[in-house]
Structure 1
Amino acid sequence: MSAPIAHGGGITAAAATFGGRPDDWLDLSTGINPSPVALPDIPARAWHRLPDRHLVDEARRAARDHYGSGEILPLPVPGTQSVIQLLPRFVESGRIAVTDDRIAVTDNKVAVVSPTYGEYARAFTSAGFTVDVVSDIAAIGAGHRLAVVVNPNNPDGRVWPAETLIALHDRMKAGNGFLVVDEAFGDTDPALSLASHTPQLSNLIIFRSFGKFFGLAGLRLGFAIARSDILVRFEHWLGPWAVSGPALSIAGSLLRTDVSPIRSRIDERSADLQAVLLGAGLQISGGTALFTLVADARAGDIYTHLCRHHILVRKFDYAPDWLRFGLTPDPAADRRLGEALQRFER
């Protein structure tokens, strides 16, 4: 079993090391909207009863309209992490071929366009697959049974146009393989999404995050978008009542609201964050509307310095010169971050 991956959001551990109460820390280590939307009214029966089919169906219809998936009804899942761990079931671990009285075992490889969210490679490695970490889609070949592309990518914000991903899907399908496109940060730029193409792309699986955009990560809610035969397999593997009634009720309401004010607020926060970072003399090297990536040779020292000021950002063991800054919640947090960065001894 591979070692756990260090993700953002570890305020408790940071406070144990650098002091202070977790509630007093400024957490910029995740890519979550720091201005959570107001919760809609949740019927008492959503708490009292097991999540009935009508709640699931309403959430699926709302997700279809929100994501623009046409005839496809997205499947609610208890956070996309839950279905990432199921992906190895779509790929045979290997094929045994007998030719001229000789037995050969072929290794069905998986490609993950990287650097990216580490749980994809970990899920397949833990299941015994060979994972090819590739830097570009062009490196994905006929020997790969499944390919993963995060679009926009985490943590560098790299994007791939729809036509490029559709062409990759067609290559994967020709070899009976699957393409997984993670659109966890796609709500801030809907034009990037492949959701509207899903009905025509039989071997495509899209994952969408709910909590990041709406600022409700604690719900542990996401959606899988794919042809019905694929979604039925996910639903079977997850088992009954996988998503809570309150989460389904909230999704059914919020996905039908006008989200343009949320996007505008996120864009405003993103612009203010970048102004703080540039004002501190840091070099922005990538990101999305929900986070900004900084490249600096002093990244490790900056990380420790900010922790001493009870500000947590995201560092990367595979890229020691990178720091990822999530959005600040308000101008007061901008000033707090800016003042801490100005105190850093260069």
Structure 2
Amino acid sequence: MFKPGGLEHGGRLRAASLRFGIPLADWLDLSTGIAPYGWALPDIPVTAWTRLPEQNDGLEIAARDYYGVASLLPVAGSQAAIQALPRLRRNARVGIVSPAYAEHAAAWRREGHRLLELSEAGVNRALERLDVLLLINPNNPTGRRFASEQLLAWHARLAERGGWLVVDEAFIDCTPQHSLALHSERPGLIVLRSFGKFFGLAGIRLGFVLAPSALLERLAELLGPWAVSGPSRAVATALLQDYAGQQLQRQRLRVDSERLTALLCGNGLAPTGGCALFQWLVAAQAPLLHEFLAGNGILTRLFDNPPSLRFGLPPDEPGWLRLEQALQIFAKEFAWAP
């Protein structure tokens, strides 16, 4: 079984290539939940390469307009904030709605905080014992979306005693109406946004923290100056202002998400959950399907608890055809029992 070491993530094509003896260029990577397409990139000014990044280059203004907020902090991917936020508290009791992106729990545990894994149903019972509640909306990997009213109610109870609600909205750009961005000025509410997933530019390493100014100042001091490179700032500024391109991206992702759902259902693999960027399938035979697809150069994201697979979107028609043919072969060769 192909199981990379340490905390697992999608996109580990080099490890998969070595494991299965398939060249990197021959893989169809459906493991990451990142948009597999974007749009034409803008020209990058020479000064973005030759000068240290400066805050008055337009990025903060473009991002505030995009998210509809008064204050935010650009960071080197939301991962940078995930690792830094636990250092702003001491000896906290932290509840994490699970299953969830494993880096969250790892970061809080690394700083000595006490962690409690919760189901969504268990939050209300545990909330009075927590200093921090952390969740992903929509959830990764389940795709489950939390109602804004419920989140704000939980936040109010935490904020009464100085607690935090941390909401990772890495996959919410296709449904921005469900974001808590507009409420992020409230004390104790911290919203994390990823740039790379929706815009299909994971390599740019850019994210944003939406929170009250006082907390952002503490986080900026911790992360230090020039956290985001000049070229990344230049590209992101242009794309954040391209509202027409964003609408086309949302439309394409929604259509392809529906297509992926139909394809899986048509092969007896009805998704358990999902969102615009991925679909999630819970089944006892998930490891078998993961291994079969990987043997055919198609990489999915395997989870152990519960046994499940996350499918990202194919980037083009050859990718769709390749996935369809592989699923059809699997259905014929194996007795699938979800």
What TM-score bracket applies, with the shorter chain setting the length? over 0.9
Identical positions, percent: 46
Match of residue 12, structure 1, among 7, 11, 14? 14
Match of residue 135, structure 1, among 119, 132, 136? 119
Match status 1:264 vs 2:247: no
Residues 178-230 of structure 1 deviation map (CA, whole Å, 9 limit, x = unaligned) = 1101100010101110111122x111110000000000000010000001001
Deviation >2 Å, runs of 4+: none
CA-based RMSD of the aligned residues comes to 1.2
Residues 126-146 of structure 1 deviation map (CA, whole Å, 9 limit, x = unaligned) = 212210000023243222111
Residues 213-258 of structure 1 deviation map (CA, whole Å, 9 limit, x = unaligned) = 0000000100000010011111111111110001111111111112
Three-state SS of the structure 1 residue aligned to 2:191 is strand
> Partner of 1:68 in structure 2?
68
- Distance in 2, matches of 1:264 and 1:213, equals 12
Kindly indicate whether the alpha-carbon contact (under 8 Å) linking 1:285 and 1:293 is maintained by their aligned counterparts in 2.
Answer: yes
> Partner of 1:111 in structure 2?
95
| CA shift for structure 1 position 4 | 2.8
Greater strand proportion: 1
Match of residue 200, structure 2, among 209, 215, 219? 215
Q: In structure 1, what residue type is equivalent to 2:111?
A: A
Number of aligned residues: 324
Kindly indicate whether the alpha-carbon contact (under 8 Å) linking 1:91 and 1:146 is maintained by their aligned counterparts in 2.
Answer: no
Match of residue 239, structure 1, among 205, 220, 224? 224
Match status 1:156 vs 2:142: yes
| CA shift for structure 1 position 37 | 2.1
Match of residue 87, structure 1, among 85, 88, 99? 85
Q: In structure 1, what residue type is equivalent to 2:149?
A: E
Kindly indicate whether the alpha-carbon contact (under 8 Å) linking 1:272 and 1:334 is maintained by their aligned counterparts in 2.
Answer: no
Kindly indicate whether the alpha-carbon contact (under 8 Å) linking 2:62 and 2:237 is maintained by their aligned counterparts in 1.
Answer: yes
Residues 99-155 of structure 1 deviation map (CA, whole Å, 9 limit, x = unaligned) = xxxxxxxxx310101111111111111212210000023243222111101111111
Moved more, 179-188 or 293-302: 293-302
Kindly indicate whether the alpha-carbon contact (under 8 Å) linking 1:91 and 1:145 is maintained by their aligned counterparts in 2.
Answer: no
> Partner of 2:290 in structure 1?
303
Kindly indicate whether the alpha-carbon contact (under 8 Å) linking 1:114 and 1:134 is maintained by their aligned counterparts in 2.
Answer: yes
> Partner of 2:309 in structure 1?
323
- Distance in 1, matches of 2:39 and 2:192, equals 22
> Partner of 1:338 in structure 2?
324
- Distance in 2, matches of 1:110 and 1:134, equals 10
| CA shift for structure 1 position 53 | 2.5
Q: Which runs of 5+ in 2 are unaligned?
A: none
Kindly indicate whether the alpha-carbon contact (under 8 Å) linking 1:210 and 1:222 is maintained by their aligned counterparts in 2.
Answer: yes
Residues 283-316 of structure 1 deviation map (CA, whole Å, 9 limit, x = unaligned) = 2110110000112221111110001100000001
Three-state SS of the structure 1 residue aligned to 2:37 is coil
Three-state SS of the structure 1 residue aligned to 2:132 is strand
Kindly indicate whether the alpha-carbon contact (under 8 Å) linking 1:211 and 1:220 is maintained by their aligned counterparts in 2.
Answer: yes
- Distance in 1, matches of 2:126 and 2:204, equals 35
